[in-house]
A and B are shown apart, each in its own frame.
Chain A
Amino acid sequence: MSGEELLKIKELKVHYYTAKGIVKAVDNVSLELRKNQFLSIVGESGCGKSTLAHAIPRLVRPPGKIVSGNIFFENKDLLSLSDEDIRKIRGHRIGFVFQDPFTSLDPLERVGDQISEVLIEHLKIEKKDAKERAMELLNEVGLTEDRYNYYPHQLSGGQRQRVAIAIAIALRPSLLIADEPTTALDVMVQSMIMDLLQSLIKKGMSIFFITHDIALASERSDEIAIMYAGKIVEQGQTSRIIAEPMHPYTQGLMAATPDIWERKNVTSIPGNPPDLANPPKGCRFHERCRFAMEICKEKEPPLISLKGRKVACWLYSDENGRDN
């Protein structure tokens, strides 16, 4: 895949400082996203997907904190920007869509005004012009202009999520982060919203898509990163990973996905994800892994390049980091 680099995350660590201890929700994650690319982050609940997504525009709230690493976006180091400068990037260069459209819109403001507000904030334009532009945006996401005066509670879940997307793309950001934008919606609405997101790629946006549904990710994205317990365990071109999942966790995720065309047996991964305040030594997946070896309990596997992807598993590398 070609294309210019848009976002580069380097060795990012995000920790939550809780009464139970330090939760390493994102632990040494490195990722890249090119222009016009659709990247999916896939993982079970609690593996740190949202934390990773929030960290990019520096939205992590206490007790969470970005501990170390770099985030380069459009040639700027986001972590070293002033609060004011990062605020100008949020909503303007980076759009964000939240999981639950019921809670991510202000219940007391008309949805149209919420779109206008972000336009006025960044472009300093007149209210009248903002309103006009907001109506166009409503059309663009498949809503009629009369919805401008509706309050969030007067819209359906899918309509609300369309509004949230309209706000996120109002300023033509180059990056759209979507944190499980369809999880709260039913299947039909889900696929319409996904179509809408995919159409944005053609308009010059890149999409950083979070999901727990590997099937959804494989249908829609160019690239997939599998996340487990705060780490990326496998990452690469979607077609390659789906054709030949290498990490046992990826294999497990795929086996756990029902497929209505092939009548295969769905098998879930045994056990539960580890407590991130107290992660196991070695490979974090070893307690649930059927291929677990001695070394898995002792040493963390490095992320190595192999067969057109990156994978972190001792099955494919020896202790010296060489490929087997």
Chain B
Amino acid sequence: MKLWKYILIRVLLVIPTLLVLLSVVFIVLRMIGDPITAMVGMKAPPNVIASLREEAGLNKPLYEQYIDYLYNLFTGNFGTTMAVDHRPVLDVIMDRFPATLELTIAAFIVSVLIGMLTGIMGGWKRGKLDASVRIYSIVSYALFIPWFGLLLQLVFGVYLRILPTGGMADAGLAPPRYTGIYVLDSLIAGNLDMFISSLKHLILPALTLGIVLSGVYTRLLRNNMIDILGQEFILAYRARGISDSKILLHSIKNAFIPVLTMMGLQFAILLTGAILTETTFSWPGLGTMIVERIQYTDYTAVQGAVVFFAIFVAIVNVIVDIIYAFLDPRISY
């Protein structure tokens, strides 16, 4: 089948993409300046810096470092953290990754739901409603995540006192670890209190990130809807006596397909937002991990986390492309 060939090629294309991303990370982390000095600060004693450099493997010639770096990554060796715990970096990342995944998936759902709802309404109804939809898309795009998050904390956490302002669960209600995704783990454990606690902690961060990202979907869907509704096949549907509700469904389907191609890129923005959201809500994910490890001068951990982000982004983009290929019959492989 042609489709399978396309998928295979798309999967193989990940390798050069990854190579570019990993090289960029390498260049940035090793060639712009001295990473250890950058993290420790200028005032550290020279012998401390020297031993840290030694530990991070920064004393070899650059090309050797590059080969080591790629070799280690492709064999799945992310090194050992240099501060606090001295554990394998990948273990530390895997501790934190589920929290980021939980937040981003929840925020993604929120943003797509809100974006689709508003965008479709604006494109279908036009008029005054459309104007407010357009304004919504611009304002939500301009929202600054920490500020919006703090506003929500202030309203729901400080004044109304109905939702927690940080963390993933109340003390004593953290579920046993199966997947690391609290909402899921509490369900697996079959503990309702734990589930409610983790859900309550998820609401504000997911809303913050989700609403800020929804504007892009709103805008895209609105424009696509208007575009599609003006096309002749919609008039043809009307000429066939098809009911408005069915025409709406057809036009949503058509308007949604191009949005899918955007989702891969949108995912990078989602992760950027996740770093800020995690910091705002003390959410123990990869974003806060990077910020912490920079403070500990933990070079290998920072590098590992950045590389992990790169791999994650590359894989998500492939998945989105493959889903797209399945959904759009017109795609030429």
- A touching B, CB within 8 angstroms: yes
Our count of residue pairs bridging A and B at CB distance below 8 angstroms stands at: 70
Contacts A107-B254, A153-B330 given: A91-B239 contact, CB under 8 Å? yes
Residues of A within 8 A of B243 (CB): 87, 121
Instruction: Give the residue of B238, B254, B328 whose beta carbon is less than 8 angstroms from that of A106.
Output: B254
Residues of A within 8 A of B329 (CB): 107-108, 151, 153
Instruction: Give the residue of B237, B239, B242 whose beta carbon is less than 8 angstroms from that of A57.
Output: B239
B191 within 8 A of A: no
A138 to B199, CA, bound (A): 53
Q: Say yes or no: B254 contacts A108, CB within 8 Å.
A: yes
Residues of B within 8 A of A299 (CB): none
B40-48, B228-236, B288-296: which lies at the interface: B228-236
A174 to B54, CA, bound (A): 88
Q: Say yes or no: B250 contacts A106, CB within 8 Å.
A: yes
Contacts A103-B233, A107-B254, A108-B253 given: A118-B330 contact, CB under 8 Å? no
Q: Say yes or no: B241 contacts A59, CB within 8 Å.
A: no
Closest to B242 in A: A121
Residues of B within 8 A of A90 (CB): 238-241
**Nearest CB in chain B: distance from A307 CB, A:** 37
Q: Say yes or no: A92 contacts B231, CB within 8 Å.
A: no
A106 to B330, CA, bound (A): 11
A127 within 8 A of B: no
A7 within 8 A of B: no
Residues of A within 8 A of B242 (CB): 91, 117-118, 121
The residue in B233, B235, B242, B246 that gathers the most chain A C-beta atoms within 10 A of its C-beta is: B233
Q: Type the 1/0 row for A131-158, where 1 means its CB is closer than 8 Å to any CB of B.
A: 0000000000000000000010100000
Residues of A within 8 A of B254 (CB): 106-108
Q: Type the 1/0 row for B315-333, where 1 means its CB is closer than 8 Å to any CB of A.
A: 0000000000000111000
Q: Type the 1/0 row for B224-268, where 1 means its CB is closer than 8 Å to any CB of A.
A: 000000011101111111110010001001100100000000000
A105 to B257, CA, bound (A): 17
A57 to B239, CA, bound (A): 7
**Nearest CB in chain B: distance from A71 CB, A:** 15
Q: Say yes or no: B231 contacts A87, CB within 8 Å.
A: no
A91 to B239, CA, bound (A): 6
A88 within 8 A of B: yes
Residues of A within 8 A of B238 (CB): 59, 90
Q: How many A residues are at the interface, by size bracket?
A: 20 to 34
Q: Say yes or no: B232 contacts A103, CB within 8 Å.
A: yes
Size of chain B's interface in residues, with CB distance under 8 A? 20
Closest to A179 in B: B239
A57 to B242, CA, bound (A): 13
Q: Say yes or no: A167 contacts B330, CB within 8 Å.
A: no
Contacts A87-B243, A91-B241 given: A105-B328 contact, CB under 8 Å? no
Instruction: Give the residue of A109, A118, A151 whose beta carbon is less than 8 angstroms from that of B240.
Output: A118
Q: Say yes or no: B239 contacts A106, CB within 8 Å.
A: no
Residues of B within 8 A of A107 (CB): 233, 254, 329-330
**Nearest CB in chain B: distance from A38 CB, A:** 20
Q: Say yes or no: B236 contacts A105, CB within 8 Å.
A: yes
Instruction: Give the residue of A105, A121, A153 whose beta carbon is less than 8 angstroms from that of B241.
Output: A121
Q: Say yes or no: A59 contacts B330, CB within 8 Å.
A: no
A264 to B239, CA, bound (A): 42
The residue in B232, B241, B257 that gathers the most chain A C-beta atoms within 10 A of its C-beta is: B241
Q: Type the 1/0 row for A100-118, where 1 means its CB is closer than 8 Å to any CB of B.
A: 1001111111000000011
The residue in A59, A104, A105, A168 that gathers the most chain B C-beta atoms within 10 A of its C-beta is: A104
**Nearest CB in chain B: distance from A178 CB, A:** 11
A16 within 8 A of B: no
Q: Say yes or no: B233 contacts A106, CB within 8 Å.
A: yes
Contacts A107-B254, A108-B329, A109-B250 given: A118-B241 contact, CB under 8 Å? yes
A73 within 8 A of B: no
Residues of B within 8 A of A103 (CB): 231-233
A116 to B226, CA, bound (A): 26
Residues of A within 8 A of B246 (CB): 117, 121
Closest to A89 in B: B241
Instruction: Give the residue of B232, B237, B241, B330 whose beta carbon is less than 8 angstroms from that of A92.
Output: B241
Residues of B within 8 A of A208 (CB): none
Residues of A within 8 A of B233 (CB): 103-107
Q: Say yes or no: B235 contacts A59, CB within 8 Å.
A: yes
Residues of B within 8 A of A122 (CB): 241
Near B by CB (< 8 A), chain A positions 165-219 give 167-168
A251 to B257, CA, bound (A): 51
**Nearest CB in chain B: distance from A243 CB, A:** 35
Q: Say yes or no: B328 contacts A108, CB within 8 Å.
A: yes
A143 to B226, CA, bound (A): 34
The residue in B233, B240, B241, B242 that gathers the most chain A C-beta atoms within 10 A of its C-beta is: B240
A96 to B235, CA, bound (A): 10
A61 to B234, CA, bound (A): 12
A98 within 8 A of B: yes
Residues of B within 8 A of A151 (CB): 329-330
**Nearest CB in chain A: distance from B253 CB, A:** 6
Q: Say yes or no: B240 contacts A59, CB within 8 Å.
A: no
Known contacts A107-B233, A108-B329, A118-B241; 5 further A-B pairs (Cβ under 8 A): A61-B235, A90-B240, A107-B329, A118-B240, A168-B240
Instruction: Offer 9 A-B interface pairs, CB within 8 angstroms, sorted by A.
Output: A90-B239, A92-B241, A104-B233, A104-B235, A106-B233, A108-B250, A117-B246, A121-B243, A164-B236
The 4 A-B residue pairs with the shortest CB-CB distance, nearest first, are A91-B241, A91-B240, A96-B239, A90-B241
